[in-house]
């Protein structure tokens, strides 16, 4: 079950699981992209329109997923979005909306998933290198993602008796539709080129980079990892000036 699996990083994760023969559910709020994603993922996936900040919606997601596929092996809590603003400009409403989407929804997605999960399953959270680097106007988003990174440790500790592992993938700049939200269409390619020029890898990330990492964390190949953070950011956090 992948939240935000209908576009960007979430779809890259869903596609990587599909390529490994997995079955599952993608969750999102945009029916058009849910439908188009489902065409690409094929018959082994279902799509559910739901709001991850609504606990009743998430209960409905897990009930439907379990009825279709049985017990769940892997949860990917991917849904989230950046919020632009400084401590001087973010309103209380913006604060609540940002924390509900990027932190509260992650916590309760996992909580609601637990009765439907197999023991020995894998929980994969999605962080951000904004938790490690103070990007201008991303203070609140970075703080929420820093808390998500800690949740991987806390969840792993809480779930030791069920052998459910929680780990977190921390992306950097990734080629997703999120660019559309921050700059006009005619400036997007120039901005991507600018980001690529400061990346140690010489390119920005692709959703498939995150998807391949998620498949690893879902597999037995990562069975000795729990509470871990994998930086998949092209070296941006530790190597970029």
CATH of the domain at 159: 3.40.50.720
Chain CA centroid to CA 71, Å:
21
Decide if 10 is inside a domain: no
CA distance 225 to 231: 14
pLDDT at 186: 72
Write phi, then psi, for 172 (nearest 5 degrees). -105, -145
Q: Is residue 52 part of a domain?
A: no
**Residue 224 burial (CB count, 10 A):** 8
Whether pLDDT at 188 is above 80? no
Query: What is the pLDDT averaged over residues 54-76?
Result: 98
Tell me which of 72 and 188 has the higher pLDDT: 72
141 is known as an active-site residue? yes
Q: How far apart are CA 67 and CA 77, in angstroms?
A: 20
Confidence of residue 181 (pLDDT cuts 50, 70, 90): low
25-49: burial string, b at 16+ Cβ within 10 Å, e else: bbbbeeeebbeebbeebeeebbbbe
The pLDDT of residue 183 is above 80: no
Catalytic residue of the set 95, 107, 116, 141: 141
Residues 101-144: tens digit of each pLDDT: 999 999 999 999 999 999 999 999 999 999 999 989 999 999 99
Buried b (16+ CB within 10 A) or exposed e, 111-127: ebbbebbeeebbbbbbb
Count the domains in the chain.
Answer: 1
The conformation of residue 88, written as its DSSP 8-state character, comes to T
Q: Look at residue 19 and tell me if it is in a domain.
A: no
Quote the pTM value.
Answer: 0.94
Range of the domain at 78: 71-239
pLDDT category at 196 given cuts 50, 70, 90 is confident
Quote the mean pLDDT of the chain.
94
């Amino acid at each position: 079950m992948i939240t935000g699996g209908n576009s960007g990083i979430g779809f890259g994760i869903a596609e990587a699981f599909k390529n490994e023969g997995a079955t599952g559910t993608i969750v999102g709020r945009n029916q058009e992209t849910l439908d188009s994603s489902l065409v690409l993922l094929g018959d082994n996936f279902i799509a559910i329109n739901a709001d991850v900040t609504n606990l009743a919606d998430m209960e409905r997601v897990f009930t439907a997923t379990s009825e279709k596929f049985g017990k769940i092996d892997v949860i990917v809590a991917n849904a989230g979005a950046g919020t632009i603003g400084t401590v001087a400009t973010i309103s209380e409403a913006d604060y609540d909306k940002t924390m509900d989407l990027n932190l509260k929804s992650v916590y309760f997605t996992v909580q609601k998933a637990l009765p439907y999960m197999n023991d020995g399953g894998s929980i994969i959270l999605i962080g951000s290198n904004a938790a490690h680097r103070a990007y201008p106007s991303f203070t609140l988003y970075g703080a929420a993602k820093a808390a998500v990174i800690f949740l991987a440790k806390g969840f792993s500790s809480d779930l030791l008796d069920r052998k459910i592992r929680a780990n977190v993938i921390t992306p950097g700049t990734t080629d997703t539709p999120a660019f559309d939200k921050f700059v006009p269409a005619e400036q997007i390619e120039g901005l991507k080129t600018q980001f690529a020029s400061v990346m140690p890898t010489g390119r920005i990330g692709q959703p498939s980079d995150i998807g391949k990492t998620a498949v690893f964390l879902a597999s037995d190949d990562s069975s000795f990892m729990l509470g871990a953070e994998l930086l998949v950011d092209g070296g941006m956090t530790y190597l970029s000036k």
